[in-house]
Amino acid sequence: MHMRTLLTALLSSLVLLSTAGMMASAQAQDPAAAFADLRDVYDATSSLTASFTQEVQSPFGGTQRASGQLFVQGDAFRIEMDDQTIVADGHTTWIHDHVNEQVLVSPYEEDDATFAPSALLLRLDDSFEAIDAGVEERDGRRLRTLTITSEAPDAMFTSLTLWYEPDTQHVVRVRAEDVNETVLTFDLADVTLDPDMDAALFSFEIPDDVDVIDLRS
């Protein structure tokens, strides 16, 4: 799977998705109302931070795993992993491959604006339908669950399941399946909405000892 697809999936998931491999337990909610409540929280959110682990299971490429830290502020974001750092400032995106000592520089794409929490939720509200909601015990915590589906031909995912904390509405686990039956699972921790962040997080200075591939021209 292309790195931009993985990146889009991760950031999209952080603002409205979540999953686990367990059966939902009792105490049903109205799915549409649960989705509206969750969306209300992120409508008022312009930034977030979180740590994450992700697993991508593809029928074409096996299983990939990664973990790291995420910082999002409006259209800007930063993802720090052991082997890569990805930074975007709203105009330019830098992908630093630590292993191969290489930096890929590309224009920030207009579609990347959907990484902003409020913009993403507004877009998904138009094309996705909340079909199931409930409550589940997971790892000793009582979590709300929400499943969303879409039949739109251009939808990024066909099915999304969210696990989130009932008191903070913070999404803590995600399962998403796309039209190619690729399944993405994300575990989130230390989620903070609207934190104070240094603007320097969303700028990138290219190291002297790397190869640079610049796709901006």
d(CA 8, CA 14): 10
Provide the domain count of the chain.
Answer: 1
For 114-144, what is each residue's pLDDT tens digit? 444 434 443 455 677 888 888 888 888 899 9
Residue 215 domain-assigned (yes or no): no
The pLDDT value given to residue 10: 54
Residue 142 domain-assigned (yes or no): yes
pLDDT bucket at 15, cuts 50 / 70 / 90: very low
Residue 213 domain-assigned (yes or no): no
Record the tokens describing residue 131, joined without a space: 């079909």
Q: For 202-209, what is the mean pLDDT? A: 95
Strands 211-214 and 129-138: unpaired
The pLDDT value given to residue 7: 52
d(CA 217, CA 210): 20
Residue 205 domain-assigned (yes or no): no
pLDDT bucket at 20, cuts 50 / 70 / 90: very low
Record the tokens describing residue 189, joined without a space: 């921790």
pLDDT at 44 over 80: no
Record the tokens describing residue 66, joined without a space: 């990664």
Residue 200 domain-assigned (yes or no): no
Provide the CATH number for the domain around residue 92: 2.50.20.10
Which one-letter DSSP state was computed for residue 40?
H
pLDDT at 69 over 50: yes
d(CA 95, CA 213): 10
- List Cα–Cα distances, 113 to 29, 63, 88, 90, in angstroms: 31, 28, 11, 8
The pLDDT value given to residue 204: 96
Record the tokens describing residue 181, joined without a space: 């039956």
| 54: Cα separation from own chain's centroid | 10
d(CA 21, CA 179): 20
Residue 44 domain-assigned (yes or no): yes
DSSP output for 132-180: EEEEEEETTEEEEEEEEE---TT-S-SEEEEEE-TTT--EEEEEEE-TT
Taking all residues of the chain, what is their mean pLDDT, rounded to a whole number?
A: 79
For 94-120, what is each residue's pLDDT tens digit? 999 999 999 999 998 755 444 444 344
d(CA 138, CA 136): 6
Q: For 38-66, what is the mean pLDDT? A: 84
Record the tokens describing residue 164, joined without a space: 């989130």
Range of the domain at 94: 3-193
Q: Tell me, yes or no, if the pTM score tops 0.85.
A: no
For 182-191, what is each residue's pLDDT tens digit? 898 888 889 8
Residue 183 domain-assigned (yes or no): yes
Kindly report which listed range (34-38, 143-147, 159-163, 197-201) carries the lowest average pLDDT score: 34-38
Q: Tell me phi and psi for residue 169, to 5 degrees.
A: 65, 20
Residue 217 domain-assigned (yes or no): no
